[in-house]
Structure 1
Amino acid sequence: MKRESHLKILFFAVFILMANLSLAQEIKEIYVSPSGYDSNSGTYERPFKTLGKATAALVTMDSRKLEKIVVWLNDGIYRISNPIVIDSTIKKSGTPFEFKAVEGSSPTISGAVELKDWSNLGDGIWVSEVPKNLGVFRELFVKGKRAMRARHPNNEYLRVKEVGADRRTNFTYHTGDFPQPKIPGEVELVVLHDWSITRIPIKDISLDSHTITASDSIGAKGLNFFNLDNWEPNPRYYLENDIEFLDAEYEWYLDTSASKIYLKLPMDLEPSQLSIEVPLAESLLAVEGSEQNPISNISFEGIRFKHCRWNIPNQTYAGIQACNFDTQQGNKEWAVVPAAIRTTWAHNIRFKDCEFNSLGGSGIWLGTGTINSTITSCRIRDISGNGVMIGEGQDRLVSGESWWKAAPQQAALGNTVEDCDISDCGVQFYGAVGIWCGLTAETILKNNEIYNLPYTGISIGWMWSPEPTPCRDNTIAENHIHHVMQKLSDGGGIYMLGLQPGSKLIDNNIHDISVNAGRAESNGMFLDEGTKDVLVENNLIYNIAKSPLRFHKASTNFVKNNYLFSNGETPAIAYNNTLPENIHQEGNREISTDDPNYIVALKKAVSKHIPTPNKP
């Protein structure tokens, strides 16, 4: 009897265990489709219509009993006005959440609305009332492509005639440089500095003295090197947003005082034939944990993120570097252009085969406390600011002290960007970069193609001194970087800043940095202040405006087995305030265009460094 009782208890325990194991293996699937209904059950046959309904359904689930949850997105456009937020109220455990495109589909999460009601003014110009919910905006997209806000000149630049006495707020222009704007107060002045730009409203245009006066200081306050004539005596500028500048097809102008938008189209087209969209949402996706309770194990696959607005605070963007800008509120109050997609206090977040395009701020940001997260086989393009951002700068405070001193463990750690195609970033804010990494550790940037940028390809580090920070052991390897530094200068294919011991720049192919627009150099690689104990090995650098490799206020570094092709008498390695003997060299090939074997050597080197095709 006792033996039989024990057998029954054992059988019951095994039954409960097997039931729990069976339950633990369950995969919950939710389906969403633009043609569905939120009153549906979210199944394959009866999908939800909106992502808001899908995330609301996640709140009610006990994910701890599931192997994983998959949210399937069918083909189509999911328009949102507010971001999708995944926080601890939605994700209560480490159970994986997967947001995936249904096989064969290309779902788009869009923060834009369509403008449909247009009136014809003749000569290809159309006008529409601006809906109240749109207010002021900086971008318009026609047929999926970014339209140019009316500017003068359309493609090139004007040159300052003479800088004003204070060197900051005004300058004279040449007679006939531009048509007199109808509403000068709505015109934006865009001034190019060596490695950044300023966008600022115009206060006044004097026809008598031929003077343009800005609404505030041009350039970041408290930094004298942003004086207008510091780099060039006659810096470049252009004007944007006036009806008088509306002279090219697909240009547009926003009259904020009358709440009207004007668009110039080809004579054979009318708006009813086109998709005309304006971004409304200020963010598309936020993954938000906390230091005590980080969010973990979320992936996004095969999804396109598109259209996100960012309006400049106080209407003035005084760029400093890599989309950090002066708020104009004090001597050193910096802010950063936000990203459409951002993670904070998040572990193991993955983006694969996704697209991030047509975005008004920056693209995607693996921010504070993001660990072991990846962006792989993605395409990032047509971004107003930075393409990808990892980590953060110096300014955040913890208990009144800089975070990197008070809590260095909060640094972004072990994140990867690999096999991505990154192009056409910095569309509005030219000082932007393809991939920006602040004070990060163990970051890997590998096998990405980065091209068609106004400034630097990859920027890593954020300390203008050799002072120790959490920044260390970062690897930039096997990237193909080309046709960058197209508008600004004093950067390069790769730009490194500050102490980050154990870091490596290896096996990169960098070429066609042929524009050197400002006073400072444009280089293949530029290792700036505080760089120390970095290995630069087996890189191919050619067709560069200035030196393929430049050091500035750098310390001991190691340069081995690189192919450095230079122009004429331009040195292969430039040493600015750097002792050449501190740059330990071994096995490098330095070849000038003056060498009769230049072409043969270049072809041979290129054949060895053919980049692996990217997957997107």
Structure 2
Amino acid sequence: MADFYVSPTGDDSAPGTPERPFATLHRARRAVREVTGEVVVHLRAGTHVLAEPLELTEDDSGRDGHRIVYQAYGYGSGEQERVVISGGREITGWQERNGAWLAEVGGLDTRQLYVDDRRVERAGIDGLPGAASRTGTGYVTDSTAPLDWQAPSGVEFVYRGVYPWTEARCAVATVARDGDSTTITMTQPAFSWATDLYNSAWDGQVMSGPGLPTRVENDPAFLTEPGTFVLDRSRPGDHLLHYLPRPGEHPLRTRVVAPALETLLHAIGARDVSFRGLVFADATWLRPSGNRGLLHYHGSGYYDGGAIDKVVLVEEQAWVTVPTESKTIPACVTLDGTTGVRFEDCRFTRLGATGLGAAGGADLTVRGCDFDTLAASAIAVTGGRDVLIEDNLIERIGLDYSGSPGIALLRTVDCTVAHNHVSDVPHCGIVAGPGQGTRILRNLTTATMGVLADGGGVYLSGPQGDSHQNGAVICGNVIKDTRTPYNFALYTDYGATWVTVEENVVIRADNTAILLVSPPLEHVVYRGNFWDADPVGSDAIPTGVIYEGNTTLADEDELDTATAAIQARAGLLRGASR
């Protein structure tokens, strides 16, 4: 067994011993490659700042049944040290002007900012000023306020609820006076793509294009609320960061960190590697700032050009246009084709995209981790096999991209999501698209659907196998407080097949569940569930659904008493969160 040590105050020319540790993870990775057998890399306390992403390949794998372990010093003991792996850059050299702090940051580009480890929001205003309307290339308004925007090419429009489950972002190109009006031209191709993508009809009412923005962000003119920031990128390579401090903050005593890297860790084909007791923090994602914007469609997916389909939901009454193919919001910690990777007792925080993402591969375990203060999802797994996501606390995610679910699965095989607590999220808590052998067991979701609509605490769609033996099982989950109107707390949707939904509890939702969806459910069993209101469609059970032994108790005390055993088994296995 080999042990190496890394400290923020170390030296890469040192031998990596406890007395003379390395300074960087990259140097430790080189040392690991030179030995065989079990290897443990001990990270000492402090912030380990990455100048570039840490990449692990097949050469960084465990061999002959041994593992490579990266862990906090003293992991698992009372002496465990706090270790942060950061892609951030500390901002110094502030100048004060009219109550705001300004710092020249060169070519630094970011979409997030953290002050004393606390997230601050980008400055913005609600909606477009004046009487505005959309044109073929943007907008026209009778207000002159946009002429006062100091860096209009950095302004971003947000379209919340362009579909009930969707939030889009497009950048402004120019702002110009046109007689008594102001003309706003949007960047391309994002705006024309949005016009093509977002079209629908509901109850005969046709919507065409993205409409007016619900929020306008990132200009110094919007900097009126303490604890907000703006990044002015109008001078290429000479960006200017503005921050309006909160009361009591001082530029010499306040630590301000701007995420600089988009990826902290990228493992490609690595095998048998563990990460224990580490904090992954301070990364961003720059794609939404570009000329393609972020044309969100559903969950973690967004449109990036290409064909668009029209899906008829109700003949001659409701239809919607959708992308034929979509891309997925990336993760700041990314696994591609890995085998036997473990994340245990780690924390993912202050990240500008999804926390942890895995594509392909097999035998992934994510256990006992905390995910919080994330711009997008906590965990996204696409195409993986034999995955265990267990005993994780997920809260305050989707802070920039409101369609993001807490946990997202797509085309997985034999994936188990069990005993997690998902709380305070803007849309769905746990989402599973088409797959096989998915098991969603004894999770607790609270305060889901906080921003967008048409989702639930647990959402599942599409084919889930070819029999109940390899289909999906949703069992023993407790779903409380799905917030926005038009939600279905326990939601089997869009042609879900071979699904067993049993012994779940739903409390305080707009709708507890729905049995009537399009395309219809097939081979779906709802059995032994408890809720405070009957599901939509339970008065006339549709073909393809078995509905038996379910209990509706409108009195919350009676419901709590009847489901005490189920509720006691749901949620985290561990004690109080760290």
Give the TM-score category using the shorter length. Answer: 0.7 to 0.9
Is the aligned partner of 1:512 residue 2:481? yes
Is residue 426 from structure 1 mapped to residue 417 from structure 2 by the alignment?
Answer: no
Distance in 2 of aligned mates of 1:175 and 1:591: 54
The DSSP-based 3-state class of the residue aligned with 1:249 is coil
Give the match for residue 397 of structure 1: none
> Residue 270 of structure 1 corresponds to which residue in structure 2?
250
Query: Measured at CA, do residues 179 and 202 of structure 1 come closer, stay the same or move farther in structure 2, by a change above 3 Å?
Result: same
Equivalent in the alignment of 1:342? 334
Residues 224 and 198 of structure 1: CA distance in aligned 2, closer, same or farther (over 3 Å): closer
Task: Tell me the equivalent position of 1:324.
Answer: 301
Q: Which shows bigger deviation, 329-338 or 499-508?
A: 329-338
Describe the superposition over 1:435-461 as per-residue Cα deviations: whole angstroms up to 9, x where unpaired. Answer: 010100110000100011111111111
Secondary structure (helix, strand or coil) at the match of 1:129 reads: strand
- Output the CA distance in 1 between the equivalents of 2:454 and 2:536: 15
1:182 CA drift (Å): 2.8
Which residue identity lines up with residue 83 of structure 1 in the other structure? P
CA distance in 1, matches of 2:131, 2:537: 33
Shift in Å, 1:231 = 9.5
Instruction: State how far apart, in whole Å, the 2-side matches of 1:366 and 1:444 are.
Output: 14
Residues 547 and 574, structure 1, Cα contact 8 Å, conserved in 2: no
Within 5 Å, give how 1:89-108 maps onto structure 2: 89-91=59-61, 93-94=63-64, 95-103=66-74, 104-108=80-84
Match of 1:379 in 2: 370
Which whole-Å CA distance do the structure 2 matches of 1:311 and 1:416 have between them? 30
Matched residue SS, 1:522: coil
Q: What is the TM-score of this pair, normalised by structure 2?
A: 0.85
Distance, in Å, in 1 between the alignment partners of 2:455 and 2:33 is: 46
Give the partner amino acid of 1:589: T
Question: Which amino acid in the other structure matches residue 604 of structure 1?
Answer: T
Matching residue within 182, 194, 201 for 2:150 = 182
Change (3 A) 1:319 1:282: same
- Map residues 96-175 of structure 1 onto 2, 5 A cutoff: 96-103=67-74, 104-123=80-99, 125-132=100-107, 134=108, 136-153=109-126, 164=134, 170=138
Distance 1:556 1:116, change over 3 A: same
Q: 1:531 aligns with which of 474, 496, 500?
A: 496
Contact 1:218 1:318 in 2 (8 A): no
Alignment partner of 1:185: what SS?
Answer: helix
C-alpha deviation, 1:59, in angstroms: 2.0
Root mean square deviation, CA, Å:
2.8
Residue deviations 1:273-299 (CA, integer Å, cap 9, x gap): 11111111221111211xxxxx32111
Q: How does 1:41-120 map to 2 (within 5 A)?
A: 41-61=15-35, 63=36, 66=37, 68-91=38-61, 93-94=63-64, 95-103=66-74, 104-120=80-96
**Secondary structure at 1:523 match in 2:** coil
Question: Deviation of residue 188 (structure 1)?
Answer: 0.3
Higher strand share: 2
Structure 1 counterpart of 2:532, one-letter code? F
Relative to structure 1, is the Cα distance of residues 575 and 186 closer, same or farther in structure 2, using a 3 angstrom cutoff? farther
SS in structure 2 at match of 1:30 = strand
- Once the two structures are superposed, residues 505-541 of structure 1 have per-residue CA deviations (whole angstroms, 9 ceiling, x without a partner) of 100000111212xxxx211022111211200000001
Q: State the Cα deviation string for residues 47-94 of structure 1 (Å, max 9, x = none).
A: 111111100111222x2xx2x111111111100021111112333734
Q: 2:536 aligns with which of 555, 573, 576?
A: 573
CA contact (8 A) 1:143 1:275 kept: yes
SS in structure 1 at match of 2:532: strand
Change (3 A) 1:602 1:219: farther
Mapped contact 1:220–1:319 kept (Cα < 8 A): no
Normalising by structure 1, we get a TM-score of 0.80
DSSP 3-state at the match of 1:270: coil
Q: Secondary structure at the match of 1:253?
A: strand
Q: Say if 2:343 and 2:367, in contact at 8 Å, map to a contact too.
A: yes
Cross-structure match for 1:607: 564
Instruction: Provide the C-alpha distance between the structure 2 equivalents of 1:178 and 1:509, rounded to a whole number of angstroms.
Output: 47
Residue 299 (1) aligns with residue 268 (2): no
User: The residue matched to 2:158 in structure 1 has which SS?
Assistant: strand
Q: Which amino acid aligns with 1:585?
A: Y
Alignment-mate amino acid for residue 323 of structure 1? S
Runs of 5+ consecutive residues of structure 2 not aligned to the other structure: 75-79, 309-323, 466-470
CA distance in structure 2 between the aligned counterparts of 1:334 and 1:440, rounded to whole angstroms: 17
The verdict on how the C-alpha distance between 1:551 and 1:71 changes in structure 2, with shifts beyond 3 A counting, is farther
- CA, structure 1 residues 495+535, in 2 after alignment: closer, same or farther (shift >3 Å)? same
For the residue of structure 1 that corresponds to 2:272, the secondary structure is strand
Q: Distance in 2 between matches of 1:412 and 1:365?
A: 11
Tell me which residue corresponds to 1:310: 285
Separation in 2, partners of 1:330, 1:150:
35
The amino acid across from 1:73 in the alignment is L
- Whole-angstrom CA distance in 2 between matches of 1:589 and 1:177: 56
Matched residues in 1 for 2:110 and 2:437: separation?
41
Letter in 2 for 1:97: I
Matched residue, 2:319: none
The 3 A distance-change label for structure 1 pair 55 and 240 is: same
Question: CA, structure 1 residues 165+235, in 2 after alignment: closer, same or farther (shift >3 Å)?
Answer: closer
**Matched position secondary structure for 1:530:** strand
Q: Distance in 2 between matches of 1:299 and 1:253?
A: 38
User: 2: CA distance between counterparts of 1:430 and 1:283?
Assistant: 21
Query: What is the aligned partner in structure 2 of residue 484 from structure 1?
Result: 448
* Change over 3 Å in CA distance of 1:165–1:264 after alignment to 2: closer
Give me the whole-angstrom Cα distance separating, in 1, the residues matched to 2:46 and 2:52: 18
CA offsets per residue over residues 227-273 of structure 1, 9 Å max, x none? 99639997761000011110111111111114211110135322211
Structure 1 residues 438-447 or 191-200, which shifts more? 191-200
